[in-house]
Structure 1
Amino acid sequence: MRVGFGEILLLLERCKSMRELKQIHGLMITATLIRDIISLSRLVDFCANSDSGDPDYAALVFLQIDRPSVYIWNSLIKGSSNRNNPDEALSMYRKMQRRGYSPDHFTFPFVLKACALNRDRNYGMCVHDRIVKTGFESDLYASISLIHMYASCTDMEASEQLFEKIPKWNVVSWTTLISGYVNNNQAGKAVRVFKEMELQGVQPNEITMVNALVACAQARDLETGRWVHQRVRENSNVILSAAIVDMYAKCGSLKVARDLFDKMPQRNVVVWNAMIGAYTQYERSKEALSLFADMQNAGLTPDETTLLSVLGACAHHGALSLGQGIHAYIEKTHIGNVIIGTSLMNMYAKTGETQSGIQIFNGLEKKDVTAWTSMIIGMAMHGRGREALTLFKVMLRDKDVTPDHVTFIGVLCACSHAGLVKEGEEHFNSMRKVYGITPTGQHYGCMVDLLSRAGHLTEAERLVKSMPIEPNIAIWGALLNGCEVHNDFNLADRVGNHILQFKPQGGGVYVLLSNIYAKAGRWQEVMMAREVMRLKGLGKTHGCSYIEAKRTLTI
């Protein structure tokens, strides 16, 4: 029985698998419809863009077409863009033009998506020029795609200029601009644009709301976050619910976040990660690890984000055994990368397993500044200051890595523990002169600690007084420690007066002052310090350590 054109189109419309598609392709050949451009367009589109399709088969069919339509070119470009193969999409776009075909308003959004995926601003600008020359600049979706492309390439100024030229009634254009600000860490502007959108009377969709909530989370803007939450309908989906939980969690409202989390009828990995990550961020590691165990019991598989949060909680809680179990899981599943490796190093360093951290560090194919910094800080924390400084020198020989302000905290800490005053001063001075890094309070604190430990108390006091920022209690405390070690009672009096202005809540400062006064035989001051502690209800902070017991890993 001969199959007609109409039947072929109907079969292609109902096609569900590549097996059926190949049978239809065979029918097209036997029915001499293999050169029919409409049927071929539908066939290529299924292969390139259906979830059940096969892009390689689409490419083979394409090679047999003498004069493919613009629709077919668009299908192949779209398929490559949607399958995260931007290089192939851009290659097809170039071939299309070389063979004399003019792109239409459907072509440009797919090509610009590929440019956005590649973060290729220069190529995107060439496409922009082509859009202008071919008269498609007034096309709304081409303009929105340009806004997205420039935002993906971190050029928010160009995105803003394009946004000003298009109609303001379209929710997609507003959402694209808000998303661009969010992805470029400009949360304040994202919130402002969302509020402006509301004033313009444009109804946000769920994607808009998710981005607005993410912006509030980034900006720690709890007030606006609550307002956005009130705009969300009760039957919101799991993605929007996860964004709400994440917003409250990152803004520090952990109780509200947990209540919402517990009431959710469905929870995906994203919402579990939001809650576990928040507990880790606010150093509530016990709750983070407990929730991770609940996540495992619920049958969910942890992803990279989960593992990073759990490793951070292990580092803070001293849960070495669980951290080793996570390490084994990472090795088994092959999901390791520089970020995961750095987190593992940090976990081992903080739990005292420095050697394991070194082994992971040496095994990293590419070491970024965070990896180098984590290893330097890990060594410095465990009294291996000279080794940390040697590692820093090796790091400086890597031309692809530049130390940042965190690196110098580790370096100065290493100098302090090793008692290397001259080297510490050299590194401190090089921050501004060589690397253009303005020292923060933490850097000054490290230097005061270094000078105080080494007995250079006059220099330490001079540095504190010359600081361009107001010294905090930690900096004065470092100087006071030096006074006790080196028995400088006169300086201790002056430093003590500065510290007491902060009205310290812990008993450590009063104990330290009491010890200094006792060494000097000033018993009346000793009694006064102890009386203040009694009246404030303060006691000595007892030494403690985390002990991990009977914790198992089921992943």
Structure 2
Amino acid sequence: MAELKQLHGLMITSSVIRHIIPVSKLIDFCVDPKAGDFHYARSVFNQIALPSVYIWNSMIRGYTNSDTPVEALIMYRKMLQTGFSPDNFTFPFVLKTCSVTGDRDCGRSVHNYIVKTGFESDVYASTALLHMYACCGDMEVGLQVFDDIPKWNVVAWTSLISGLVNNNRESEAIKAFSDMESWGVQPNEITMVNVLVACARTRDIETGKWVHNCLARLGHDPFMSSNKFNIILATAVVDMYAKCGSLETARNLFNEMPQRNLVVWNSLISAYNLHGRAEESVNLFVDMQIAGFVPDQASFLGVIGACASLGVSALGQCLHAYILKTSMSKDLAVGTSLVDMYAKTGDLESARKIFEILRKKDIKAWTSMILGLALHGQGAEALGTFKSMQEDATVVPDHITYVGVLVACSHVGLVDEGWRHFNEMRDVYHIVPNQDHYGCMVDLLSRAGRFEEAMRLVEEMPFKPNITIWGAILNGCEIHENVNLAEKIRAQITELKPQGSGVYVLLSNIYARAGRWQEVKLARELM
């Protein structure tokens, strides 16, 4: 920068400063995000009597890519106020700033100006508008903008697909990719990454394989030695296979990668646990550190989840001790995950300690504590914790929270309170009960011997009862020795053909208590 300032001085003394082209180059260097100086750039800009549109664009672009992007909007407004007319290169920079700052109102204002000045048919301006609306969560307007683009090039298609993925409309993103192929537009690597993300989220392995084949056909497959290795694309491929449950393929491709990043390690750690291979998840976490990678939040969340799945409290304690030595010890998400892990492994004392020191308790933290207490027989404390949560106006219970609450009511035998919470969930928080909620209520009513209410609730359910719900009623039948109802339910159970033997054990016990040994024999034969 010192040399640039010397050059600036020389330009002043030699009168070159009056010429627009060298001044434009000077501004370009000054706004470079890596080596520039924005204060100096602004000083140079203020000395220019009549800056060209190119210079205005340079200043706006520089601020857009800086730590103070809002300054780009200020420059844009100043440009309009001083009578300068933006061109088709101005709008993408300004709209990018709106995207970064989430300023949808400003974006709409720019959109109106684009229409007013006749730039809506410009592909650069239109694509930037699409990206802005997608980033601001207004995808419907973004789709209208896309439809109005006169010629859909790869940038427009990629912006559309990326916007759909970022707005959790993955199926539409996959459909758009298929349409893109039909229109004869060849996707680039950024397009492919976004489609692979969509396939991973929807667990669409067949489409994922098709996209992987497209990579090979178009010469983008990062695992082919003839192609330049793209670690971002390779990570997306591995992540897609991993999330879709094709762990062997994911691991084989992972092993082929000439270089790896933390993201791909985290992807596999999480996927192994997600698909019931928690021990391998923990082993990968260790291997990752041996390879020289420092765990981040995602790493710890993945391995903490694996420890919770394994149900080994000692392993979780070792991991917790390690976390305390890192910067992640104060991370809210990691702390919440530790609460969940200890609660699931039955170490309620440790769960309570971490829960109490969390600087901010979100719904996940409260729910983990409530559910952990409820599932380990501490129903009264779980309900007390839920009451404390309701006193925090910033936290709203979700469907999982109410599973914990209803389990707690069932274990304590509070039928009326269970009904109150069940109705509150629907009427106050507008949560549609699922089979877990109905199952909890049926269990609560059956444990209390209120079989008529339980059966009426089963009949009112908007779906067919599963084996868990029939098992809950059978459990109540065993407690209250209701052989007649158990007899009626047996036909329903036989029709479902359950895989486990739990319900048949309950049936056998019920018949045994009634001295009906022939039925006991039949029930045991079905196990």
Task: Compute the TM-score of the two structures, normalised by the length of structure 1.
Answer: 0.86
Which residue of 55, 58, 65 corresponds with 1:75? 58
Contact 1:49 1:78 in 2 (8 A): no
Is 1:201 the equivalent of 2:160? no
* Structure 2 residue matching 1:232: 3-state secondary structure: helix
Is 2:243 the counterpart of 1:246?
Answer: no
Specify the SS of the correspondent of 2:428. helix
User: Is 1:220 matched up with 2:213?
Assistant: no
The two structures, once aligned, show a CA RMSD in angstroms of 2.5
Q: Which residue of 1 aligns with 2:506?
A: 512
Task: Tell me how many residue pairs correspond in the alignment.
Answer: 516
Match of 2:275 among 240, 264, 282: 282
Aligned match of 2:101 in 118, 127, 136?
118
Residue 155 (structure 1) aligned with residue 131 (structure 2): no
CA–CA separation in structure 2 for the residues paired with 1:485 and 1:35 = 95
Residue 287 (structure 1) shift: 1.3
Q: Deviations over 1:121-148 (max 9, x none)?
A: 2221011011122232222111000001
CA distance in 2, matches of 1:304, 1:98: 46
Output the CA distance in 2 between the equivalents of 1:57 and 1:404.
52
Q: 1:316 aligns with which of 303, 309, 315?
A: 309
Q: 1:79 to 1:370 in 2, by over 3 A?
A: farther
8 Å CA contact 1:311–1:347 kept in 2: the answer is: yes
Q: Secondary structure at the match of 2:526?
A: helix
Aligned pair in 2 of structure 1 residues 299, 163: CA closer, same or farther (>3 Å)? Answer: same
**Is the 8 Å Cα contact of residues 208 and 240 (structure 2) preserved in structure 1?**
yes
Offset of residue 19 of structure 1 = 4.9
Q: Given the superposition, is the C-alpha separation of residues 181 and 264 from structure 1 closer, same or farther in structure 2, using an over 3 Å criterion?
A: same
Q: 1:52 to 1:303 in 2, by over 3 A?
A: farther
- The range that moved more, 201-210 or 459-468, is 459-468
Q: 2:426 aligns with which of 427, 432, 446?
A: 432
Structure 1 segment 75-224 matched on structure 2, within 5 A: 75-83=58-66, 85-224=68-207
User: Which residue identity is paired with 1:284?
Assistant: R
Superposition map of 1:300-379 within 5 A: 300-324=293-317, 326-327=319-320, 328-329=322-323, 332-334=326-328, 336-379=330-373
User: Where do residues 364-403 of structure 1 align in structure 2 (5 Å cutoff)?
Assistant: 364-403=358-397
Mapped contact 1:168–1:174 kept (Cα < 8 A): no
Task: Provide Cα deviations, 1:442-495, integer angstroms capped at 9, x if missing partner.
Answer: 100111111222332332223223222111111111111122222222222222
**Aligned-partner residue type, residue 502 of structure 1:** L
| Counterparts in 2 of 1:84 and 1:504: CA distance versus 1, 3 Å | farther
CA–CA separation in structure 2 for the residues paired with 1:344 and 1:65: 58
Alignment CA distance shift 1:124-1:347 (3 Å): same
Q: Distance in 1 between matches of 2:414 and 2:24?
A: 73
User: Which stretch of structure 1 is more off in the superposition, 426-435 or 328-337?
Assistant: 328-337
Counterpart of 1:14 in structure 2 is none
8 Å Cα contact 2:121/2:150 also seen in 1: no
SS in structure 2 opposite 1:75? Answer: helix
Q: Distance in 2 between matches of 1:456 and 1:504?
A: 25
Q: Please point out which of 273, 292, 295 is paired with 2:266.
A: 273
Secondary structure of the equivalent of 2:464? coil
Asked whether the 8 Å contact 1:476–1:495 carries over to 2, the reply is yes
Per-residue deviation, 1:522: 1.9
Q: CA deviation at 1:434?
A: 1.8
Among 486, 494, 504, the residue aligned to 1:492: 486
Query: C-alpha distance in 1, partners of 2:182/2:284?
Result: 40
Letter in 2 for 1:314: C
In the alignment, structure 2 segments of 5+ residues that lack a partner are 217-223
Q: Deviations over 1:354-381 (max 9, x none)?
A: 3443444444444433333223222222
**Compared with structure 1, are the counterparts of its residues 341 and 24 closer, same or farther at alpha carbon in structure 2 (3 Å cutoff)?**
farther
SS in 1 for 2:465: coil
2:278–2:306 contact (8 Å) kept in structure 1: yes
Per the TM alignment, residue 510 of structure 1 is displaced from its structure 2 partner at its CA by: 2.4
Quick one: distance in 2 between partners of 1:320 and 1:86?
47
Match of 1:529 in 2: 523
Give me the whole-angstrom Cα distance separating, in 2, the residues matched to 1:75 and 1:53.
Answer: 12
State the 1:199 CA deviation.
0.9
Q: Residues of 1 paired with 2:329 and 2:6: CA distance? A: 39
Deviation at 1:264, TM superposition (A): 2.1
Task: Write the distance in 1 (CA, Å) between the matches of 2:319 and 2:376.
Answer: 23
Distance in 2 (CA, whole Å) between partners of 1:57 and 1:361 is 50
- 8 A Cα contact 1:409 1:443, kept in partner: yes
Question: 8 Å contact 1:304–1:335 — kept in the other structure?
Answer: no
Q: Please tell me the residue identity of whatever aligns with 1:515.
A: N
SS in 2 for 1:427: helix
Corresponding position of 1:444: 438
**Displacement of 1:178:** 0.8
1:542-553 → structure 2 map (5 Å cutoff): none
Say if 1:49 and 1:75, in contact at 8 Å, map to a contact too: no
**What secondary structure, in the 3-state scheme, does the structure 2 residue paired with 1:117 have?**
helix
Residues 73 and 94 in structure 2, CA contact (< 8 A), matched pair in contact too: yes
- Whole-angstrom CA distance in 1 between matches of 2:170 and 2:69: 28
How far apart are 1:154 and its partner, in Å?
1.8
What is the one-letter code of the residue matched to 2:348? T
Q: TM-score, normalised by structure 2?
A: 0.90
Q: CA deviation at 1:426?
A: 0.5
For 2:230, the aligned partner's letter is N
Contact 2:328 2:334 (C-alpha < 8 Å) held by counterparts: no
Q: Which residue of 1 aligns with 2:219?
A: none
CA contact (8 A) 1:380 1:413 kept: yes
* CA distance in structure 1 between the aligned counterparts of 2:373 and 2:26, rounded to whole angstroms: 61
5+ residue gaps, structure 1: 1-17, 534-555
Change (3 A) 1:101 1:348: farther
Instruction: Report the more deviating stretch, 82-91 or 100-109.
Output: 82-91
SS of aligned partner of 1:399: coil
Q: C-alpha distance in 1, partners of 2:257/2:350?
A: 40
Bigger mean CA offset, 281-290 vs 524-533? 524-533
> Is the counterpart of residue 420 in structure 1 residue 403 in structure 2?
no
Identify the residue that residue 466 of structure 2 maps to in structure 1. 472
Q: What is the CA–CA distance in structure 1 between the aligned matches of 2:193 and 2:461, rounded to whole Å?
A: 43
**Aligned mates of 1:466, 1:355 — CA distance in 2:** 40
* CA shift in 2, pair 1:139/1:368, >3 Å: same
Q: Which amino acid letter does the alignment assign opposite residue 126 of structure 2?
A: S
Letter in 2 for 1:486: H
Quick one: which of 201, 205, 212 aligns to 1:229? 212
- With over 3 angstroms needed to count, the CA separation of the structure-2 counterparts of 1:382 and 1:523, relative to structure 1, is same
Aligned CA distance change for structure 1 residues 321 and 433 (closer, same or farther; 3 Å) = same
